[in-house]
Amino acid sequence: MLTVNGFIMDIRNAPREAQVVAYERGLIPYIPADRAKTKANFDRALRGEAFLLVEEYGDRSHLRTYFEDRYSPIYGSNGEVAGLTVFVIDITERKRAEAAIIGARDFHLQLLENAPALIWRASTDAKCNWFNATWLAFTGRTLEQESGDGWTVGVQLNYPFFPGGRNIQDVHTAQSDERRYAQLLRSQWNQAQVDLKQAFNDWQDAVEQLRVQQEFLQAAELRAEIARNQYALGLLTFDSWDIIENDLIAQQRAEIAARRGTILAEAAWEKARGVSLLPVK
């Protein structure tokens, strides 16, 4: 027996209709490669192994669907494995949001790639992991050669003391400017990350607000329909009927405003990602 999110079926003797239902619920994929992957996971669980996987399913020519799958064997009274349980969570939207943030990060690196300045990036371990094309052209080395501490190879320090220490002051000024520009770049990068996360959260909040408002509207429409029938039969006063109708109108306006807010929030999210609303020629 197979239990997936509370849906139970016999995967060995299931009729065609049950397999279709399982496919519609995302339990059994139709693509051969995905079916083979699912079968391998079933075999692991049926051998008594419990594990957690993040997997993608679906046709690669369309949008792939991502799931977080937790497999657990089911033991019978004799202590042997009698079936398995799979808890499936659809994490497609989370994966797409992560991909969008990564894409926005790479977009900023593309902007800096050919900037007329020597620009690099270091990770939290103080090791450099990216240099722009201007830097690589200046040093004549590859990104792999410069990464980590490789950029220190062949570094020469020219520190003139004369005339009169003027060049020393120029060096200090240049170093101060370099630190200032590095801090400015870091600040802009951090602000871009905050703007991306805020725009995405605002969009998600707007979508949820629209869903809630649509449920309020459905309830108001049902209430108004009942009130009209009661008023026609003389079971409801005019004042009560008028209050219910006015509430329906208010809910309709609120739903339109929520829909407008969702569209604006989505546009702000697309803008933060750098996606143009105009078709690319």
Tens of pLDDT, residues 10-20: 444 444 444 44
Distance CA 71, CA 68 (A): 10
Reading the block at residue 198, the tokens are 């805020």
| Residue 51 or 35, more confident | 51
Share of the chain above pLDDT 90, in %: 10
pTM confidence score: 0.34
Domain ranges of the chain: 2-90, 97-156, 171-274
Q: What pLDDT is attached to residue 256?
A: 92
Distance separating the N- and C-terminal Cα atoms of the chain: 54
Q: What is the 3-class SS of 4-57, one letter each residue?
A: ECCEEECCCCCCHHHHHHHHHCCCCCCCHHHHHHHHHHHHHHHCCCCEEEEEEE
Tens of pLDDT, residues 117-151: 778 777 777 788 878 888 888 888 888 888 887 77
Least confident of 51-65, 71-85, 132-146, 244-258: 51-65
Q: What pLDDT is attached to residue 77?
A: 87
Q: Which CATH architecture has domain 2-90?
A: 2-Layer Sandwich (3.30)
Q: What pLDDT is attached to residue 147?
A: 82
Tens of pLDDT, residues 193-230: 888 888 888 888 989 988 999 999 999 999 999 988 98
Q: What pLDDT is attached to residue 51?
A: 93
Distance CA 177, CA 1 (A): 69
